[in-house]
Structure 1
Amino acid sequence: MRITVPTARVLAALLADPHADHYGLELMQHCGLASGTLYPILHRLADAGWVERHWERIDPSEAGRPARRLYRLTGEGATQARQALAELRAQLGGGPATATDPRPAW
């Protein structure tokens, strides 16, 4: 899978809490991406088996909003995401980013 900077941002956001469900608006805000960029990335990640998706189980009338589509890294997806981000960081200047490193943390 080709890892672009926007894809790296999405993977980093998902890896921040890899066992949690994440929804689109949360990811858009965290990554600074528009929906037209985010959702195709999530679709490609799901097609590759890196992300699983499902609808939130709520009663929309009780919640006062529609159900959200939720996204979570698969076990394999988390492994592949960590490896892909490490390789990308190495290509951009070596080693993992640190608190004093000016490179983006994705």
Structure 2
Amino acid sequence: MADRESRLWGYGLSRTSGVRSGVLYPILRRMLEEGWLTDGWESQDEAVGRPPRRYYLVTDKGIAELGAVLRRAQADIRFRGLDLGFA
């Protein structure tokens, strides 16, 4: 959400968040189905020497919905002390 223009790769999201890929990819699929994300594939020109990567972009709906999730988490005492703000 911090940089709406950047393409987000599943592997990078997994490493940054610390969420295992087996947990992350089903979440990404649900977010795509709900319209929170759009996706695409990088071009063959970008993927020299390897298969193209699938990327994700946050939609306007995703910004609104994810912002609401963050606000609820910030208000929940169980998440106090965690950095849940926008970068």
With the shorter chain as reference, the TM-score category is 0.7 to 0.9
Map residues 64-79 of structure 1 onto 2, 5 A cutoff. 64-79=49-64
For 1:19 and 1:77, the matched residues in 2 are separated by: 13
Paired letter, 1:63: V
Runs of 4+ in 1 over 3 A off after TM superposition: none
In structure 1, the partner of 2:81 is: 103
1:35 aligns with one of 21, 24, 27: 21
Q: What SS class does the counterpart of residue 25 from structure 1 fall into? A: helix
CA shift for structure 1 position 19: 2.2
Q: Does 1:54 align with 2:32?
A: no
Taking the aligned partners of 1:76 and 1:92, their CA distance within structure 2 comes to 26
So what's the TM-score if we normalise by structure 1? 0.70
**Distance (Å, rounded) in 1 between the aligned partners of 2:2 and 2:44:** 25
How many equivalent residue pairs?
84
Specify which of 59, 68, 80 is matched with residue 83 of structure 1: 68
Q: CA deviation at 1:17?
A: 1.4
- SS of the residue corresponding to residue 40 of structure 2 reads strand
Q: What is the alpha-carbon distance in structure 2 between the residues aligned to residue 49 and residue 92 of structure 1?
A: 29
Kindly state the Cα deviation for residue 93 of structure 1 after the two structures are TM-superposed: 6.5
Q: For the aligned residues, what is the CA RMSD?
A: 2.1
**Unpaired stretches in structure 1, ≥5 consecutive residues:** 1-14, 95-101
Secondary structure in structure 2 of the residue aligned to 1:64: coil
Q: What is the CA-CA distance between 1:59 and the residue it aligns to? A: 3.4
- Matched to 2:34, the amino acid is A
